[in-house]
Structure 1
Amino acid sequence: MAGNKTALVLGATGGIGGEVARQLRDAGWQVRALHRDPQRVAVAGDGLDWRRGDAMNGADVMAAARGCAVIVHAVNPPGYRRWGELVLPMIDNTIAAARAAGARIVLPGTVYNYGPDALPVLAEDAPQHPRTRKGAIRVEMERRLRVAADGGTPVLVVRAGDFFGPRAGNNWFSQGLVTPGRAVTRVLQPGRPGVAHQWSYLPDVARTMVRLLERRNAPAGFESFHMAGHVDATGAEMVEAIRRVVRAAGARMPSVWRFPWWLVAAGSPVVPLFREMAEMRYLWREPVRMDNTRLVAALGHEPHTPLDEAVRATLEGLGCLPQPALSTPGDPAWR
């Protein structure tokens, strides 16, 4: 499919799926987006070709992928629910559709694949021995993708740390550090002091994926790349960046509170979100860093937005910063 710049994005209403869809569109790609109710989610002028369908329905995915060079598999069960039932059938549908279309599969990878034995520095060949249910499912997803790649379907995995961004959806930044739609009066700190944590700004991740896709003579088979993103070396740098940005916006400096892990533990038996948070707590107790040597060798450098700029855009997108007052003809700005 040389010269074909048509992509199907599964999960285009989510954080990473939506960001990849928009950046592919801006790079000149024809982008299809699959959704069960496209009229409800489509935005006039968004430049996306919305198709009706369900990622759990193999025929829907097959039809939407016809003629595509790329399928971005960025779809996840909503609210962390029913992973065991839904995740693997969805990746199987994507693999079948990609095989039929001759398309390359792109998967946003996670650090959930790794257990404590692989930490603190994660390279692409680090052992994947997860101790969590979600991690085991992610490992099985990638095993199936490797089998598909061995059979002639190219696969690209771009792995990054915890996502944050102006449209990031469900993530630790918006669910564990601040509260969307509210002024930031306090910031929660989930990690241990002095323990490094890995963050990735969604626009940087999407830009990296697009650049990797647009390489000339990109190899077939299975490719995996890690992003360095933003390393919070002390466990407090992200919290302090939020505080700086809020203060610079004219609001009072937020206080810092320890994340209430005791509440998460107590609520885990009945609250699915708490159960998932508790399962991934080891990633806040152990230092995590990503080795991007292979990525830099492929692209020359990793797309990287300065931390305060990325945090400001994220807080603005979440509705957490005060809105600037509109000027009127009597204001100095009009003179």
Structure 2
Amino acid sequence: MSQATNTPTALVLGLTGAIGGAIAKALARRGFVIRALTRRPPGQRPLLDFPVEWREGDARDAASVLAAAEGASLIIHGVNPPGYARWREEALPMLANTIAAAKAAGATIVFPGNVYVYSSASPARVSETSPRQPTTRKGQVRLEMEEMLEQAARDHGVRVIAVRAGDFFGPGVGNSWFAQALAKGGRAATSLQRLARPGAGHAWAFVPDLAETFARLVDIRAELPNYTMLNFAGHYDATGHDMTEAVRRALGRPDLPVKPFPWIVLWLAAPFVRFMREAIEMRWLWTKSLALDNSPLVGLLGAEPHTPLDDAVGAALG
């Protein structure tokens, strides 16, 4: 609790990222004081539509996280290694810092999960109890992160609220497959790119809906077990082209060309560009169907926050 105002404080690691900022906004609407750890000097910090208590520091530095977490009742772990690289070298230590700070402060960890813990051998519809057998480097790191959180909850009483979701899209979400590939150029796009193999279903997460889901779980956190992992269904593109058709409708351009994504370019560049190698590793998510069963989440909340697809796509396009 904040010592000055006796209002709850949420420390956000990764406030300038897509999900960290969205969760912070949802919590600010509920009266939380938002505190953020940043390496940016004051003149380079973003102007947001809610107050932020900035703390200088780095999520990779244990002492910085521990100091920033003092008095916080929530720690939102929305930070990832930059450049889609150095997952093992940076993601695991950063989460260890968050766990240590949460243990010291008595704070609940809010953790956005993803589907990297699955593989091409996973069933087409996964639940929270489906086997986690990743076959990629990033998937193995994400599995180890989930296991770290499970152990912290089991052995040290650290409370964790985690939600798995598909690919992010939404307003201001620029570093995403939606913005950088499928609808590159936004409303000025001259063509769209089809990422998924025809017939391969793909899970998408509209970030404002996912953030509201986290906030509603925070509202009932006293009723949840120490470790809570839930699936967020989001928008499931069952055919592999539902999303491109939604973009066409949002733009009012039903004849906008849709071209196959040039995966060959990534393959050719992979030996020289690490980002390309990392992206190719997750191509399986575009060649097989993977949907998220959200039955337990709906059982807790009554319904999953869900913006209609055309409205969500319109907002994502700006």
State the match for 1:128 in structure 2. 132
- CA offsets, 1:115-166, max 9 Å, x none? 1232211101111110100000000011111110011001111111110011
Residue 184 of structure 1 contacts residue 246 of structure 1 at CA under 8 Å; is this kept in 2?
no
Distance 1:113 1:74 in 2: 17
Distance 1:297 1:306 in 2: 21
- CA offsets, 1:168-227, max 9 Å, x none? 232110122122467111000011111111101000000000000001633242110101
Distance 1:182 1:266 in 2: 29
State the match for 2:150 in structure 1. 146
1:80 to 2:84 alignment: yes
State the match for 1:109 in structure 2. 113
Q: Bigger shift: 220-229 or 91-100?
A: 220-229
Alpha-carbon deviation of 1:77?
Answer: 1.2
1:24 to 2:27 alignment: yes
State the match for 1:37 in structure 2. 40
Give the direction of change, closer, same or farther, for the CA distance of 1:304–1:270 in structure 2 (3 Å limit): same
Residue 186 of structure 2 contacts residue 317 of structure 2 at CA under 8 Å; is this kept in 1?
no
1:55 to 2:83 alignment: no
Alpha-carbon deviation of 1:80?
Answer: 0.7
2:177 counterpart (169, 172, 178):
172
Give the direction of change, closer, same or farther, for the CA distance of 1:71–1:165 in structure 2 (3 Å limit): same
State the match for 2:17 in structure 1. 14
1:300 to 2:308 alignment: no
- Residue 211 of structure 1 aligns to a residue whose secondary structure is helix
Paired residues in the alignment total 313
Distance 2:35 2:240 in 1: 39
Give the direction of change, closer, same or farther, for the CA distance of 1:203–1:44 in structure 2 (3 Å limit): closer
- Residue 89 of structure 1 aligns to a residue whose secondary structure is helix
Distance 1:119 1:23 in 2: 33
- Residue 217 of structure 1 aligns to a residue whose secondary structure is helix
Higher gyration radius (CA): 1
Alpha-carbon deviation of 1:254?
Answer: 1.7
Distance 1:258 1:278 in 2: 15
- CA offsets, 1:250-284, max 9 Å, x none? x6842000011111111112222221221011111
Residue 185 of structure 1 contacts residue 253 of structure 1 at CA under 8 Å; is this kept in 2?
no
- Residue 118 of structure 1 aligns to a residue whose secondary structure is coil
Alpha-carbon deviation of 1:4?
Answer: 5.6
State the match for 1:67 in structure 2. 71
Alignment gaps of 5+ in structure 1: 317-335
Give the direction of change, closer, same or farther, for the CA distance of 1:182–1:268 in structure 2 (3 Å limit): farther
Alpha-carbon deviation of 1:45?
Answer: 5.5
RMSD over aligned Cα, in angstroms?
1.7
Q: Bigger shift: 41-50 or 79-88?
A: 41-50
Distance 2:109 2:217 in 1: 12
Give the direction of change, closer, same or farther, for the CA distance of 1:181–1:198 in structure 2 (3 Å limit): closer
Percentage of identical aligned residues: 48
Distance 1:281 1:101 in 2: 39
Residue 81 of structure 2 contacts residue 91 of structure 2 at CA under 8 Å; is this kept in 1?
yes
- Residue 222 of structure 2 aligns to a residue whose secondary structure is coil
Normalization by structure 2: what TM-score? 0.94
Alignment gaps of 5+ in structure 2: none
Q: Give the partner amino acid of 2:265.
A: L
Q: Bigger shift: 228-237 or 116-125?
A: 116-125
Distance 2:280 2:84 in 1: 13
- Residue 167 of structure 1 aligns to a residue whose secondary structure is coil
